[in-house]
Amino acid sequence: MQIVIALVFGAAAGGLLHYLQGGRSSRGAALAPVLGTFAGGFTWMALTWLGLTTLSPWLWLASFAAPLAIVPATLAVLTRLRATHDEKERARLGIA
């Protein structure tokens, strides 16, 4: 059941990072929280499969650090890709 803590933290961190990082208008509001939830939950799952228990601080640290590392990097890449795509599409359509 403790995985719920990692999932909730990932969603909260993703939501906060969505508002702290630029380019909000080019992505949906749910993308960052869902990505954070996935990052925290997947990290928790992988580390428990590798044998770590809830008594291990590494399980908690990694599950909380993963969303904080993955979400900003992914949002930066997606924002840059969206801006590039929008510029190409404007040029193709002849929109100033």
Number of H helices, E strands in the chain: 3, 0
Give pLDDT tens digits for 1-53: 899 999 999 999 999 999 999 989 888 999 999 999 999 999 999 999 999 99
Residue 78: give the domain boundaries. 3-93
Specify whether the CB–CB gap between 39 and 3 falls below 8 A.
no
Per the structure, the count of domains in the chain is 1
pLDDT computed for residue 82 by the predictor: 95
pLDDT at 96 over 80: no
pLDDT above 80 (res 73) = yes
Closest by Cα among 28, 11, 70, 66 to 44: 66
What's the pTM value of the predicted model, to 2 decimals?
0.90
pLDDT at 19 (0 to 100): 95
